[in-house]
């Protein structure tokens, strides 16, 4: 079984972005969205209007997200998977979403990076959070161009 990362959040976090589960590059680097072709950090750079965010150190990127009251976590705490595709996830174990109130008591909105993560949206909506399923930032999501993804991701802050 592979294990995900702890949440990146604090008491002021208002928006949480949920991925499904870290890919191979992210697991190797022990960093959310470490694959260089993943659009995640470029999307956040544009949405937050923070030039150069994608090129900063990982710690600086996380600090920037927290300063903008945005947190990160994954839907799955553990799973079996070969490769990085969501379609290869097996034996998935969900994260303990009830812990959100502890990690991020000010949380208002749960956003999901892609359809697989988005399957958890009804559960979090039931818990009282506003939800938004975004197009996946993964390079495997080639159906949408970067500008098309960005147009949807701008809704993150609304």
Which pLDDT score is estimated for 19? 96
Distance CA 82, CA 34 (A): 17
Which pLDDT score is estimated for 131? 98
Which pLDDT score is estimated for 140? 81
pTM metric for this prediction:
0.95
Which pLDDT score is estimated for 148? 96
Q: Which residue has the tokens 């990362």?
A: 5
CATH class of 2-157: alpha beta
Written as tens digits, the pLDDT of the chain (158 aa) is: 999 999 999 999 999 999 999 999 999 999 999 999 999 999 999 999 999 999 999 999 999 999 999 999 999 999 999 998 888 899 999 999 988 988 899 999 999 999 999 999 999 999 999 999 999 999 888 889 999 999 999 999 98
Distance CA 34, CA 3 (A): 16
- Residue boundaries of the structural domains of the chain: 2-157
- Known active-site residue 95: no
Chain segment 109-148, per-residue pLDDT in tens: 999 999 999 999 999 999 999 999 999 999 888 889 999 9
Nearest to 30 by CA among 51, 56, 8, 13: 8
Nearest to 141 by CA among 94, 86, 89: 86
Choose the catalytic residue: 38, 95, 113, 141: 38
Residue 48: C-alpha distances to residues 44, 52, 108 (Å): 6, 11, 18
């Amino acid at each position: 079984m592979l294990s995900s990362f702890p949440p990146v959040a604090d008491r002021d976090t208002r928006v949480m972005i949920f991925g499904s589960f870290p890919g191979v590059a992210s697991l190797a680097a022990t960093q959310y969205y470490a694959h260089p072709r993943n659009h995640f950090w470029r999307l956040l750079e544009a949405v937050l209007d923070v030039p150069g965010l994608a090129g900063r150190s990982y710690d600086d990127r996380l600090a920037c997200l927290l300063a903008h009251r945005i947190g990160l976590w994954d839907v799955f705490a553990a799973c079996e998977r070969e490769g990085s595709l969501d379609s290869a996830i097996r034996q998935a174990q969900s994260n303990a979403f009830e812990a959100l109130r502890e990690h991020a008591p000010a949380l208002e909105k749960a956003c999901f990076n892609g359809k697989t993560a988005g399957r958890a949206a009804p559960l979090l909506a039931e818990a009282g959070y506003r939800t938004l399923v975004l197009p996946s930032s993964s390079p495997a999501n080639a159906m949408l161009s970067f500008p098309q993804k960005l147009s949807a991701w701008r809704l993150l802050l609304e």
